[in-house]
Chain A
Amino acid sequence: MELIKLLGVVIVIVGFALKLDSILIIFLALITTGIVGGLGVGGLLETIGVNFVANRSMAIFIMILLITGVLERNGLREAATDLIKKVKGATAGKVVAAYGIMRGAFGAFNVGFGGVAGFVRPVVLPMAEAAVKNQGHEAKEEHVEDIKGMASAMENITWFFWQVLFVGGSGGILVQSTLASLGYEVELIELAAAEIPVAIFALIVGCSVTIMTDKKLTKKYYGDK
């Protein structure tokens, strides 16, 4: 029965879908695959050891943590706030789009500003709401709800598609090691380069959709102006 070898895969899929503890899922999948794959205890331990050590590149983020916190202490978030405040006379959609551009550009250097909790909520949303006011409207609750959704969406879209441009990011490293296990040797910089058109296109699509949606919503909530 070859199919029994898939038990580990099933555990991963079902486990993540059921929201079990992630490390528990992987732990069970490792052990199960070792047993049904006929690796034996010694063989399994050896395979785990070899592969975990071979995947150490994924821990490089710990090196970067040496400066992450210190940058925050020295006012990186305040600097980013000042930078985005330079966007003037904008609509809510344009504020969110401007945030996307900034988030993407810095994401390519693996620099973040605190995500939804640390930056969108305290900086981007108040700016977007102020923009609605500057256009002479009293921000409606439904519109604010939409802006929140758009800002979070922008946060995710730009981060997902731009962080892959960072040479040394965990996504590229995981692809590199997965391909290596299949016998294909690739360089991290090549992987990052392949994503450049995707990243640019994602930013254009993300910003256009946001600005157009906001235009449509402004019309819907406040009438033609």
Chain B
Amino acid sequence: MANLKFIQVNEVLGANLLNMVWVIIGLIAIYAGVKNLLDNENPSRYGTALFWCSFGVVCGFGTWLPAKLSGVLVIIMCLPPIFKKVKVGKVDTPSKEHTIEQYQKVGMKIFFPAVCVGIFSLLFAFFSNLSSMVAVTLGVIVAMIILMAYNPGENKPAVFLKESERFLSIMGPLCMLPQLLGCLGGVFTAAGVGDVVASIVEKIVPKGNVNVGIIVFAIGMAIFTMIMGNAFAAITVITVGIGGPFVLAYGADPVTIGMLALTCGYCGTLCTPMAANFNIVPVAILNMKDRWGVIKKQVLVAVIMLVFQICYMIIFK
């Protein structure tokens, strides 16, 4: 595949482009912070601003900040959400009439900019050595240009920034969860947690049989996700504790095993009320009578998918 990559940028330029990506994201977050700081309708202006701005600074300038200072900023960032001090301010949701009117102007070709980001990240992954993050950013920029060309009266540059703030605020601090979990995984590894988990699992599961290791890893992911309600939280712990020492250490393919472990976890997500966002909230939104109504329709598919994936991992390990 490497010979296809005819777009080659040197390492320095690649690193600079990537740093630009972080700076842009950081500035968007800082904008969200400042907007909320000045927003009289936000019931918690300072907490909200502190959260988004400290995140924006770590994200945008983490490359150059001393690691300890970044650590302090992460701790500061965590405090406002823990004390429930991150709130949503003034939200300017477009009305149904408004979007219908725009749709009549733009029409079905709205799908082009929508899939633009995905296409760019795919193309650049195949044909260049640029980071996916840079590819996504280029896709976003091209999508913005197309949108401005489609509908210049509506899509002014400032609108993109305002809309990103709107969505960031709707998502709230929980959107930081994956990154914090990734960070936690790193801290677990640094503290040697993986080795301890492995030494416990070793007492139950025979080491050296990769297929047994795969089965334990896959089912372990599903069960832990069911308990925790979050596959992202499970995968950092289970990969370090089981996947690494019981499967990957014996030369199994990290790509197939590592990635499918996540979707094995998703099988667990489909079966648990702990994943309230996916399984309980819809019951409420759709006024269903049976609290388990969504889960019941998912269990069969989840079991089939888990078995399929275990076989797939064993065959392609």
Contacts and interface: CB of A to CB of B under 8 A. Distances in A.
A121 interface: yes
Interface in A65-91: 65-79, 82-83
Nearest to B230: A16
Nearest to A142: B289
Interface in B146-199: 147, 150-151, 154-155, 159-164, 166-168, 173-194, 196-197, 199
Contacts of A53: 58, 62-63, 65, 67, 70
14 contacts: A5-B193, A17-B228, A49-B74, A63-B25, A65-B168, A71-B147, A74-B105, A109-B115, A116-B285, A155-B282, A167-B122, A178-B185, A178-B240, A182-B189
Nearest to A141: B289
Interface of A: 2-3, 5-6, 8-9, 12-13, 16-17, 19, 21-24, 26-27, 29-30, 33-34, 36-39, 42, 44-79, 82-83, 106, 108-111, 116-117, 120-121, 125, 145-146, 148-153, 155-157, 160-161, 164, 166-168, 170-175, 177-179, 181-182, 184, 186-191, 194-195, 197-198, 201-202, 205-206, 209, 213
A2 B105 CA distance: 65
Interface residues of chain B: helix, strand, loop or mixed (majority): helix
A73 B110 CA distance: 11
Contacts of B235: 174-175, 178
Given A160-B266, A168-B133, 20 more contacts: A8-B184, A8-B193, A9-B193, A17-B274, A23-B81, A23-B176, A27-B75, A30-B183, A49-B66, A65-B28, A73-B159, A74-B102, A74-B106, A74-B155, A120-B286, A156-B294, A174-B235, A177-B185, A202-B305, A209-B301
B294 A69 contact: no
A51 B260 CA distance: 24
Interface of B: 21-22, 24-25, 28-29, 58-59, 62-63, 65-75, 78, 81-82, 94, 98-100, 102-108, 110-111, 113-115, 117-119, 121-122, 125-126, 132-133, 135-137, 140, 143-144, 147, 150-151, 154-155, 159-164, 166-168, 173-194, 196-197, 199, 224, 227-233, 235-237, 239-240, 244, 248, 254-256, 258-263, 266, 269-270, 274, 276, 278-279, 281-283, 285-286, 288-290, 293-294, 296-298, 300-301, 304-305, 308-309, 312
